[in-house]
Amino acid sequence: MKHWMTTAVAALALAMPAIAEARPVEFERAARPAGGAVVLPVGKDGALSGLSQDADKAAKGAIAAAIATAGFKGEAGKSLALYGAGPYSAVLLVGTGEGAKSAQDLKTYGGVTAQGTSGWKTPVIVVVPDAADVAQDASVAAMGAQLGAYNFGKWGKPAEAGEPAGGLTFLAKDAAAAKRTFDRDGAAVVAGVSLARDLTSTPSNIKSPDWMAQQVVAAFEGVPNVTVTVMDEAAIEAAGMGALYGTGQGSARPPRLVAVEYKGGKAGEAPIAFVGKGITFDTGGISIKPGPNMWRMRMDMAGAASSAGAVLTLAKRGAKLNAVAVLALAENMPDGNAIRPGDVLTSMSGKTIEIMSTDAEGRLVLADGLWWAQETYKPQLAVTIATLTGAVGGALGPDYAGLFTKDDALAERFLKAGEASGEMLWRLPIHKNSLAAMKSDVADIKNGGEGAPGASVGALFVMEWAKPETPFVHLDIASMAWENSGNATTPKGAVGYGVQLFDEIARGYEAK
């Protein structure tokens, strides 16, 4: 392994706000709740079964009567709150439609439960629906509850005073097994997603590349089997990373490259590498963006945040493999020292790049980050993840991230992992004509191509830095990193997209 000059990380000067602690969860053996506040699953057309039906009997039919009166159809993800129904002080009815069929259905059930009972100050008993082929239903629902209850809060403001919401107790056939599964796996996923959301949500006047590097160091303090390396701008320049250095040279806050290495597998075994775009704010540089919605460019480092979050999840659950997150961090600003359209940068690989647009900067930092990761770790899989192009949103909307790879088997593996994790992917094409559009007269390649599909051009550019021997996937998450209205497991704002997907991918490699 090559050794690079690194810089010591300064003491934290500006920490993130005190994020509210995750709502506590417990597990008990499944039985009809005797009283108090409860959550009950309701099937299609308001059907009650199992413990929900038993609870209605205890309430002398009051729950079924309320369902009929309200016209509640039990649609998946919908809910209805009742108060004073028989022995129950409060009842939240959560629809399951045709029934929970996947882990994602259970996470949605848990998220609706947490959000629908957020104002309840007493402990809440949660009856969990069964889902076919899902082990430990209650544990998965509890994970969804904590994901759905996430709250970044307001910067610089203490958490709102008042009594917190009551804890959630999930009923399980084997409560001890459900708790073990949650403590080992569910809590680790929540920690990784929360880290990614916290970093992405932080305002960019605070979130410089150095600040983000410091936060990542702090997040992994004391986590076993993890080493964090931070390269400052001098080390980046010395390593020949002209694309990363050039992207950040217009900012008064210089770039950083961070590597979070987790060793949970066999000694010497090649890791899987997640390389994340980390533009801590993107003005577009000299090719400045239009004003509307530029504020959201605080989230242009979401790929880097999710890469770090994924490795935190793997480390906290003790995954039996080696993994590394490489965060290529820079701020893209239109200073007098910024790069210009028409400039030529030399990347770490020696490949030269003609700049067509300074707003196509994410692919620049990924080029050097990916090459460095391959040179340093020789990974058995390399994945780049980035809020790279607006074009991917035009193609896929807010339902899928774009998946690009030349490897059909890898594509199938990632598509299945997307379905299992609930972080959906859609494979998009790469074509030689898109690469031809990036042919440069003065450099090896241009960072854009006129008339070619934007998302595919971005992906093909990054692929130019993937070595032939490295299995490689590129993910464009530009339309998935920020939730404008919120849903059951993702409150409005930063999503942390990629953490659950990468955890699922890692499980496949662990099973080899």
Dihedral sign computed on CA atoms, order 172, 174, 178, 181: negative
| pLDDT at 2 exceeding the cut of 80 | no
Does residue 111 have a pLDDT over 50? yes
364 and 322 within one domain? yes
pLDDT score of 193 more than 80: yes
Confidence at 171, pLDDT banded by 50, 70, 90 = very high
**What does DSSP say about strands 226-231 and 79-85: parallel, antiparallel, or unpaired?**
unpaired
Six-digit token string for 45: 């057309």
Contacts of 472 (CB under 8 A, 6+ apart): 381, 382, 383, 384, 405, 406, 407, 410, 463, 466
Lowest mean pLDDT among 8-22, 108-122, 139-153, 343-357: 8-22
Query: Do 228 and 258 contact (CB within 8 A), yes or no?
Result: yes
Mean pLDDT of 412-429: 97
| CB-CB contact of 494 with 302 (8 Å) | yes
5 exposure class (CB count in 10 Å sphere: 0-12, 13-18, 19+): exposed
Domain boundary among 122, 138, 171: 171
Q: Is the pLDDT of residue 501 over 70?
A: yes
Which tokens hold the place of 139? 């544990």
Q: pLDDT at residue 239 above 50?
A: yes
Candidates 72, 66, 38; CA nearest to 52 is: 38
Is there a single domain that holds both residue 205 and residue 162?
no
Residue 6, pLDDT score: 44
The fraction of the chain above a pLDDT of 90, given in percent, is 90
On whether both 88 and 134 belong to a single domain, the answer is yes
Is residue 310 in a domain? yes
15 lies in a domain?
no
* Active site members: 289, 363
> Please, are residues 362 and 387 in contact by the beta-carbon 8 Å criterion?
yes
Q: Give yes or no: residues 113 and 219 share one domain.
A: no
- Alpha carbons 254 and 232: distance in angstroms, whole number: 8
pLDDT tens digits, one per residue of 198-220: 999 999 999 999 999 999 999 99
**Residues pairing with 95 in the sheet:** 42
CA distance 388 to 324: 21
At residue 133, the pLDDT reads 83
The helix (run of H) or strand (run of E) holding residue 197 is helix 187-201
pLDDT at 161: 59
Write down the residue that tokens 């039919």 correspond to: 61
Whether residue 7 lies inside any domain: the answer is no
Residue 253's domain comprises 190-510
Helix H segments across 94-163? Answer: 103-116, 137-148
Identify whether 340 is part of a domain. Answer: yes
Question: Which pLDDT score, from 0 to 100, does residue 338 have?
Answer: 98
Q: What is the pLDDT of residues 279-327, one digit of tens each?
A: 999 999 999 999 988 999 999 999 999 999 999 999 999 999 999 999 9
* Shared domain check, 211 and 162: no
Total structural domains in the chain?
A: 2
CA distance 61 to 53: 9
Q: Does any domain span residue 276?
A: yes
Length of the chain: 512
With respect to residue 123, please indicate whether it lies within any of the assigned structural domains.
yes
132: domain CATH number?
3.40.220.10
Query: In this structure, is residue 178 part of a structural domain?
Result: no
Based on the domain organization, do 304 and 347 belong to the same domain? yes
Taking the C-alpha atoms of residue 64 and residue 121, their distance in angstroms, rounded to an integer, is: 25
Residue 460 and residue 426 in one domain: yes
Query: Residue 493 contacts by C-beta under 8 Å, 6 or more apart in sequence?
Result: 152, 197, 200, 201, 482, 483, 486
Q: How many CB atoms lie within 10 A of CB 434?
A: 21
Residue 255 lies in a domain: yes
300 closest CA partner among 154, 499, 481, 491: 481
For residues 356 and 505, membership in a common domain is answered with: yes
Same-domain pairing of 387 and 461: yes
For residue 505, the SS3 value is helix
The owner of tokens 């359209």 is: 341
Distance, CA of 236 to CA of 368 (rounded, Å): 10
Q: For the sheet containing 272-282, what is the strand order?
A: 226-231, 256-263, 322-332, 272-282, 381-386, 472-476, 401-404, 425-427
SS3 220: coil
- The CA distance from 71 to 501, in Å, is 37
297 and 432 both lie in a single domain: yes
Boundary-marking domain end, from 123, 141, 171: 171
Backbone torsions φ then ψ of 473, nearest 5 degrees: -135, 140
Q: Are residues 277 and 411 in the same domain?
A: yes
Average per-residue pLDDT in the chain? 94
Q: Provide the pLDDT confidence category of residue 21 given band limits of 50, 70 and 90.
A: low
Interstrand relation of 322-332 and 272-282 (parallel, antiparallel or unpaired): parallel
Q: What is the CATH number of the domain that holds 204?
A: 3.40.630.10
Using CA atoms, how far apart are residues 329 and 302, in angstroms rounded to an integer?
11
- Whether 158 and 210 share a structural domain: no
> What pTM, to 2 d.p., does this model score?
0.95
